[in-house]
Amino acid sequence: MESIGVLMACPMNPYLEQELDKRFNLFRFWEYPSKPEFLKSHSQSIRAVVGNTFAGADAELIEALPKLEIVASFSVGLDKIDLPKCKEKGIRVTNTPDVLTEDVADLAIGLILATLRRICECDRYVRKGLWKKGDFQLTTKFSGKTVGIIGLGRIGMAIAKRAEAFRCPISYYSRSEKSDCKYKYYPSVVELASNCQILIVACPLTEETHHIINREVINALGPKGFLINIGRGPHVDEPELVSALIEGRLGGAGLDVFENEPHVPEELFKLDNVVLLPHVGSATIETRQAMADLVIGNLEAHFLKKPLLTPVFSGKSVGIVGLGRIGSAIAKRADAFGCPISYHSRSEKPNTGYKFCPSILDLASNCQILVVSCALTAETEKIIDRKVIDALGPNGILINIGRGRHVDEPELVSALLEGRLGGAGLDVFENEPEVPEQLLELKNVVLQSHVGSDTVETCKDMADLVLANLEAHFLKRPLLTPVLGDI
């Protein structure tokens, strides 16, 4: 197949470019200063085009390539490909569905959490040394919020599954109501926005969905609502979004895509209620390689006269230390992300459906993400020691939402500095509010100021429970949440 001409529309994944170059006669479109001259010289040689979210195959390019047989998109989106023209010419089109579904859905939930819980802002708060001057402000709870999804395709369904694990009621809008779907359907985007607190854009970009998020939809979502866009930038009327955020007509936004990428409205940079990402929905090493393999596999299948391909992937393996109420809630959420779950606790729990590891070393050796969520006791102090960290290894991630003293902090710091551990997410520390200074400069660490329960809603619920326990005691009624009984 080395003689088959393949046109790469723009720079993209280096691995994909390398593998295409090995297998085909690869032309890099961006290297030619005169596109018309190139097409005139090579129009008879090119039988395939590889594009992505930035450049694909428009009608003009398709007309200029009479020998074109297939367009392979290094993306799930097809908005850069003239599909009617391809149908007219009998040109086959492939994309990378399923491969990136999990990553984009993961990122949607990440954007929600980052936006509502102010995770990025909180990280900056710790790094600037502001925690010593006072606690970070209370944020907004995600669990239980009503979530509306525009577009219930593969990615939309994956987002719904994840949000459902956070006890979020789900509703959706799409071109038509889905049969056998348990989620509430709204026949218009305005109705959906009026009946949800978080609105997620996950539909393809078409003429009908261009600026589907307009002033009317934003106003329906309202000053307590949040917009999450992991679709395409032109889904949103960007000037209207900016003005709504500045004027307080919208509560916040998490944006991975923009109308004129890589340009982002400068007004957004100053807003604390907005999280901005550089279109990284599928940008993990694993998924980009899988996408590249699928592009190559589809091209090879086409030219070898074999069926085109469709692969399936699962999530990272998660180990949980302590499967109590919080550990079980984490497991449920991780399970919704397609992650295999295992756990360690003092004894095996009946009927969990998760694998039990009798020692924490076993657990760390058999997971990629280790989450500490157990109670702090004499037995669990420094339960995360050098042996456990080394068992987790340079590709492993440690998450601590338990207590700071669960972790041997000097060992953790040295492991991160030496590359013996892949990364860490830390909400708690050994000597709060003091945080090891070495961590402040590391890019593979996320630092939070012990804000696990710090949402307005949860703090009020906790306060109400304290008051109710006191009243129950003095009124000689059963305590609502007793820890120790009568002595």
DSSP string, 132-175: GG-PPPPB---TT--EEEE--SHHHHHHHHHHHHTT--EEEE-S
Domain co-membership, 65 together with 111? no
Domain co-membership, 16 together with 133? no
**pTM metric for this prediction:** 0.79
Residue 302 has pLDDT above 90, yes or no: no
What does the block give as tokens for 234?
A: 């032109």
Which range of residues forms the domain containing residue 161?
101-276
- Residue scoring higher pLDDT (352 or 137): 137
Catalytic residue (choose from 232, 235, 302, 450): 232
- CA 93/CA 442 separation, integer angstroms: 43
Domain co-membership, 242 together with 110? yes
- 299 located within any domain: no
Residue 310: the pLDDT is 47
Catalytic residue (choose from 28, 92, 249, 279): 279
Whole-number Cα distances in Å, 80 to 13, 73, 167, 221? 17, 9, 36, 30
Contact 118, 139 (CB under 8 A): yes
Domain co-membership, 111 together with 221? yes
Residue 52 has pLDDT above 70, yes or no: yes
Average pLDDT in the 155-184 region? 96
- 453 located within any domain: no
Residue 163 has pLDDT above 50, yes or no: yes
H or E segment at 170? strand 170-173
Catalytic residue (choose from 261, 434, 437, 471): 261
Domain co-membership, 67 together with 147? no
DSSP reduced 3-state for 423: strand
State yes or no: is 232 an active-site residue: yes
With CA atoms as reference, report the closest residue to 23 among 42, 4, 7: 4
- Tens digits of residue pLDDT in 54-78: 889 999 999 999 999 899 999 888 8
Rounded percentage of the chain residues whose pLDDT exceeds 90: 84
- 203 located within any domain: yes
- 45 located within any domain: yes
- Tens digits of residue pLDDT in 195-238: 999 999 999 999 999 999 999 999 999 999 999 999 999 999 99
Q: Give the CATH number for residue 173.
A: 3.40.50.720
State yes or no: is 261 an active-site residue: yes
Domain end, chosen from 254, 276, 298, is at 276
- CA 171/CA 160 separation, integer angstroms: 9
- 66 located within any domain: yes
- CA 174/CA 60 separation, integer angstroms: 31
Residue 487 has pLDDT above 50, yes or no: no
Please tell me the total count of domains within the chain. Answer: 3
- 307 located within any domain: no
Residue 359 has pLDDT above 90, yes or no: yes
- Residue scoring higher pLDDT (486 or 14): 14
- CA 392/CA 368 separation, integer angstroms: 7
Average pLDDT in the 331-358 region? 89
Q: 88-92, 164-168, 369-373, 467-471: which has the minimum mean pLDDT?
A: 88-92
What does the block give as tokens for 45?
A: 């040689």
Q: What is the DSSP letter of 204?
A: P
With CA atoms as reference, report the closest residue to 232 among 260, 252, 253: 260
Domain co-membership, 190 together with 58? no
Rg for the chain, CA atoms, rounded: 25
Domain co-membership, 71 together with 111? no
What average pLDDT is seen over the chain?
93
Domain co-membership, 11 together with 58? yes
- 322 located within any domain: yes
Whole-number Cα distances in Å, 81 to 87, 91, 326? 11, 11, 46
State yes or no: is 92 an active-site residue: no
Domain co-membership, 82 together with 125? no
Residue 486: the pLDDT is 55
- 458 located within any domain: no
Q: Is the dihedral of CA 139, 145, 148, 154 positive or negative?
A: positive
Rounded percentage of the chain residues whose pLDDT exceeds 70: 97
Domain co-membership, 206 together with 151? yes
Domain co-membership, 225 together with 362? no
Domain co-membership, 329 together with 399? yes
- Tens digits of residue pLDDT in 137-157: 999 999 999 999 999 999 999
